[in-house]
Amino acid sequence: MNSIIRQRLFQQIVSLAKISGRNYYIPRRALLYVPGDDPKKISKSFTLDADCIALDCEDGVAINRKENARETIRSFLDKGKPTLSRDYDLGVRINSLETPYWQEDLKACLTAKFLPDTILVPKIETDETVRLFSDELGKYIGTNQILNLIIYIESAKAFINLVDICKTTESLSKTGNFRPVCLVFGSDDFCANIGITRTEDANEVLYARQKLVLVAKAFHLQAIDMVYIKYKDLEGLKMQCQQGMRMGYTGKQVIHPGQVSVVQDAFLPSPSQIEWALGLLKSFEEHQKQGKGAFTYKGNMIDMPTMKQAENTAKLARLKTS
Ligand SMILES: CC(C)(COP(=O)(O)OP(=O)(O)OC[C@H]1O[C@@H](n2cnc3c(N)ncnc32)[C@H](O)[C@@H]1OP(=O)(O)O)[C@@H](O)C(=O)NCCC(=O)NCCSC(=O)C[C@](C)(O)C(=O)O
Ligand SMILES: [Mg+2]
């Protein structure tokens, strides 16, 4: 089955998932960074069919361009989210809460005429940071508005505090105006933080990379894998995608247009997984209409964990609001 057919089946699953009215995920396979001070790259990002676009105020932007980045992003948001051939996630990565820039970044994007879908917060190290972020967000966003939150884990301290960070985030989100959707492994900063020398097979970050997935899944979050910085090496990228996918990652950060389709293709479920999930979701719909909760599919009794597996197959995660 070629990738176009797989992509089409994948979209069908996502649509079916939405029709069912349950809390299904939408995919975030490639998370593309676009330097916020570069209008040309921002315009181009909307032509690339990426699941997720992150307009960056942080490390993709030079210190002396921070103000320029937030103003450029704001002027794009003022025009409204461009409508593309399919839904996608438009986010803004603000600067770390340890810097003097983050409040201005947040203000610029939250007072724009149209809000982004998602705020990406880098270098979160303690649950106190999440509280601080939540309080600041509350100054601009009403309780009837919900933004997605993507959390970056990029240091030893962050990994030690990871469970507390997730617990506090989950708890604050119940009354706050954000919804946590992903954990991101910031491997570049992590390596710098603990003094790692990087290698091609990434064994040196194995523990951290696995821990991030484990905790993400425990809190029903998507897990977004490390950046592959040799952006011209697409074979190497594909292999690292497959490695991450086998670990349970649901997507990967990308920095260049050439990486988008390689990553999005690699994070598609296999043809047999797609067909299984598609059939199961259809069967679920039919049984729901007949008022039957439990049912049999391909000889197996279907329970909720199996339904969740079908949802996961649809690769994953923006909670459907309604
Ligand atoms: C590597 C660079 C400098 C090469 O940029 P280039 O212009 O030399 O590349 P190119 O091959 O000549 O570009 C071809 C075309 O693609 C465009 N283009 C190129 N890149 C993008 C992009 N990202 N988004 C949208 N468009 C892009 C570029 O403008 C050009 O357009 P054109 O053909 O129309 O003239 C460039 O790709 C770039 O700036 N990428 C983003 C880098 C970045 O954001 N880094 C920070 C994120 S990673 C990170 O923070 C770490 C992490 C997670 O925190 C942690 O692990 O700790
Ligand atoms: Mg980083």
How do residues 249-285 score in pLDDT, each as one tens digit? Answer: 999 999 999 999 999 989 887 777 778 887 888 888 8
What mean pLDDT is predicted for residues 207-230? 96
Give the single-character DSSP code of 251.
E
Phi/psi for 215 (5° steps) reads -70, -40
Residue 228 in contact with ligand 1 by CB distance below 6 A: no
How far is residue 125's CA from residue 219's CA, in Å, rounded to a whole number? Answer: 17
The pLDDT assigned to 124 comes to 98
**What is the Å distance from ligand 1's center to 140 Cα?**
31
What's the pLDDT tens digit per position in 133-163? 999 999 999 878 899 999 999 999 999 999 9
> Which amino acid type is present at position 167?
K
How far is residue 91's CA from residue 109's CA, in Å, rounded to a whole number? Answer: 10
* Among 41, 15, 16, 14, residue whose Cα is nearest residue 260: 41
The pLDDT assigned to 218 comes to 95
For residue 55, pLDDT over 80 is answered with yes
Chain mean pLDDT for the chain: 89
What's the pLDDT tens digit per position in 93-128? 999 999 999 999 999 999 999 999 999 999 999 999
What mean pLDDT is predicted for residues 78-99? 96
Of the candidate ranges 26-30, 127-131, 150-154, the one whose mean pLDDT is the lowest: 26-30
Q: Which of 305 and 3 is assigned the larger pLDDT? A: 305
- Residue whose token pair is 């209008």: 39
The pLDDT assigned to 14 comes to 59
For residue 21, pLDDT over 50 is answered with no
Element (H, E) at 115: none
Residue 225 in contact with ligand 1 by CB distance below 6 A: no
How far is residue 44's CA from residue 260's CA, in Å, rounded to a whole number? Answer: 13
The pLDDT assigned to 253 comes to 98
The pLDDT assigned to 314 comes to 54
| Buried/exposed 269-306: b ≥16 CB within 10 Å, e otherwise | beeebbebbbebbebbeebeeeeeeebebeeeebeeee
pLDDT tier at 50, thresholds 50, 70, 90 = very high
- Residue whose token pair is 């047999």: 272
Bridge partners, residue 52, by sequence? 31, 89
Which residue of 155, 183, 252, 256 sits with most ligand 1 atoms within 8 Å of its CB, as the best mutation to test the pocket? 256
Interface ipTM: 0.99
pLDDT tier at 69, thresholds 50, 70, 90 = very high
**What is the Å distance from ligand 2's center to 170 Cα?**
23
Ligand nearest to the CA of 57: 1
Q: What number does the ligand 1 atom closest to the CA of 253 have?
A: 53
Token pair, residue 299, equals 């000889």
Bridge partners, residue 184, by sequence? 152, 224
CB 153 within 8 A of CB 184: yes
Superfamily of domain 30-267: Phosphoenolpyruvate-binding domains (3.20.20.60)
CB 130 within 8 A of CB 159: no
Domain ranges of the chain: 3-8+271-320, 30-267
Q: Which of 4 and 210 is assigned the larger pLDDT? A: 210
Number of H helices, E strands in the chain: 13, 10
**What is the Å distance from ligand 2's center to 62 Cα?**
14
